[in-house]
Amino acid sequence: MNILDIRVLGDPVLRQDTTAVEAVTDELRQLIDAMFATMRRAKGIGLAAPQVGRSERIAVVDVNAETGPIALVNPRILSAAGTTAKSEEGCLSIPDVFGDVVRPDGVVVAALDRDGRPFEIEAGGLLARCLQHEIDHLHGKLFLDYLSVLKKRSAMAEWSKVKDRYPGYVRRLTDEEVAEHLSEEDL
């Protein structure tokens, strides 16, 4: 499977709004497959098209075995719970940087699947958080945007320590990087 380069903080594509998909084609299904493969190799649970340098409104998530992998084409949040939860978030485009983000703890999302069929998903907990995070990417928003000024400053200080590892704002998933992020359980 084709592993894609991941764009990191500083690449303008991460701050751009994406374009709605007019039709789900074989090329877009191949992109979805490559995004899933890239996300898994990077040990992530979600990935949006801008993170791999694309402008289509596409995201993929795979939070747990119960829900399985979910491809989202043109996703939109239909409703969000009135209650919120704070939890730590990270991002494949901002490696080694984390921050506590407050988000609605439940959402209903409408999208097209990998074959262009419409569906809705009602999600809570980690899946709701992941869906919101990836949909934010499709509108040029990052989890850093939810942090207070002080916490964002701290996160950016952490980023400044590692950003030089990604020349040209590109993160290539080398075998060494993958091995570095494996837990002892995975070995």
Active site amino acids: 134
Residue with token string 């979910």: 70
Q: Which two tokens stand for residue 62?
A: 């795979």
Helix ranges (DSSP H) in 42-104: none
Cα–Cα dist 133/12, whole Å? 18
Distance spanning both ends of the chain, measured CA to CA: 22
User: Residues with Cβ < 8 Å from 106, sequence gap 6 or more?
Assistant: 80, 81, 83, 122, 123, 124, 128
